[in-house]
């Protein structure tokens, strides 16, 4: 029923069972990775329940988060909360006999549902996971507005530029969300949806977002004309990394950072513009080490330290 108003009347894309299943699958995957990486979830740390309860909270809220669209799109998450209450009141007593625990679990589920949109703050890790998972359902054909060649706008064009979204274990942070774009316009979806959802929750220390524009095959000598090659989101940093800006040197500290591997502790966002110098290739990096006294950052470029040590 949530699709009737949204898709039939408002011409948005489907927000029914397919969307709910995609969001639920990715939410559970994110939670599973975080748990395996040793991240503590609020359900456990706050004494509400155990990990099984945390998974139940995330799964249930993911399946119910959009049912309010059956009433109205505007602030539909509030309607979702209203419609979810009688459902939870019917199902949860089958699992929880302790009235206090039942109330706490129900409240956690409703907080997830009521705060999953990017313009509302989420205060638990479980709610933040749902928020991010909802933002992963942006692949081509899953956009908020259907593509209409007679009504072109940045929302439809950018959404049609998302080829695939993959959730996996990360490199510098527990979770990596890789967005494969077929066109640079896809960065709008990453910045306006995924990035905002990450910022308005508490999961940003554990999640990295990586958006890559898939290059078209070069034929007949055609050059690579991508505007955006790779975007990396770490915390509050939203960085475009081109092949010519991978290595960032700090004139003050004489450190060189590999921007494809930076961590929060590298503090590249604190480097003043006047101290920034980019190196276009490893050859330039090695010259800076040999001739200018630079060295690699021990957190993101330790192999450069090893290489310079071997030369000495």
Per residue in 190-227, pLDDT tens? 888 889 999 999 999 999 988 888 765 444 555 555 66
Per residue in 145-198, pLDDT tens? 444 445 556 666 776 788 889 999 987 789 999 998 888 788 888 888 889 999
Rg of the chain (C-alpha set): 22
What is the Cα–Cα distance from 155 to 170, expressed in whole angstroms?
Answer: 28
Sheet strand arrangement including 207-213: 162-169, 175-181, 207-213, 230-234, 237-241
Which pLDDT does position 15 carry in this prediction?
62
Using CA atoms, how far residue 150 sits from 11, 146, 155, 157, 195, in Å, is 14, 11, 14, 12, 29
The model's pTM is 0.72
Per residue in 60-88, pLDDT tens? 999 999 999 888 778 888 999 999 999 99
Q: Which CATH class is domain 2-135?
A: mainly alpha
Q: Give domain limits for the chain.
A: 2-135, 154-240, 247-311
What is the Cα–Cα distance from 21 to 14, expressed in whole angstroms?
Answer: 12
What is the Cα–Cα distance from 34 to 204, expressed in whole angstroms?
Answer: 12
What is the Cα–Cα distance from 105 to 124, expressed in whole angstroms?
Answer: 12
């Amino acid at each position: 029923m949530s699709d009737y108003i949204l898709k039939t009347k408002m011409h948005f894309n489907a927000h029914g069972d397919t969307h709910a299943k995609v969001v639920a699958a990715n939410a559970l995957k994110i939670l599973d990775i975080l748990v395996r990486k040793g991240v503590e979830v609020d359900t456990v740390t706050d004494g509400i329940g155990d990990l099984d309860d945390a998974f139940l909270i995330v799964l249930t809220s993911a399946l119910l988060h959009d049912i309010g669209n059956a009433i109205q799109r505007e602030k539909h998450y509030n309607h979702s909360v209203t419609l979810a209450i009688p459902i939870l009141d019917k199902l949860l007593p089958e699992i929880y006999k302790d009235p206090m625990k039942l109330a706490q679990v129900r409240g956690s589920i409703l907080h997830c549902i009521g705060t999953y949109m990017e313009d509302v703050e989420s205060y638990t890790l479980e709610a933040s996971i749902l928020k991010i998972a909802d933002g992963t359902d942006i692949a081509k054909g899953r956009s908020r507005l259907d593509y209409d060649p007679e009504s072109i706008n940045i929302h439809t064009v950018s959404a049609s530029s998302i080829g695939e979204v993959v959730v996996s274990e990360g490199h510098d942070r527990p979770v990596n969300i890789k967005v494969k774009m077929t066109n640079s316009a896809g960065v709008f979806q990453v910045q306006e949806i995924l990035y905002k959802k990450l910022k308005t929750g508490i999961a940003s220390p554990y999640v990295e977002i990586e958006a890559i524009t898939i290059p078209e095959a070069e034929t007949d000598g055609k050059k690579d004309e991508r505007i955006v090659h790779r975007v990396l989101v770490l915390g509050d940093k939203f960085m475009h990394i081109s092949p010519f800006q991978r290595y960032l040197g700090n004139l003050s500290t004489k450190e060189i950072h590999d921007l494809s591997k930076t961590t929060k502790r590298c503090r590249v966002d604190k480097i003043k513009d006047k101290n920034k110098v980019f190196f276009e290739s490893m050859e330039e990096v090695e010259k800076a080490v040999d001739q200018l006294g630079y060295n690699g950052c021990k957190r993101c470029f330790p192999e450069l330290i090893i290489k310079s040590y071997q030369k000495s």
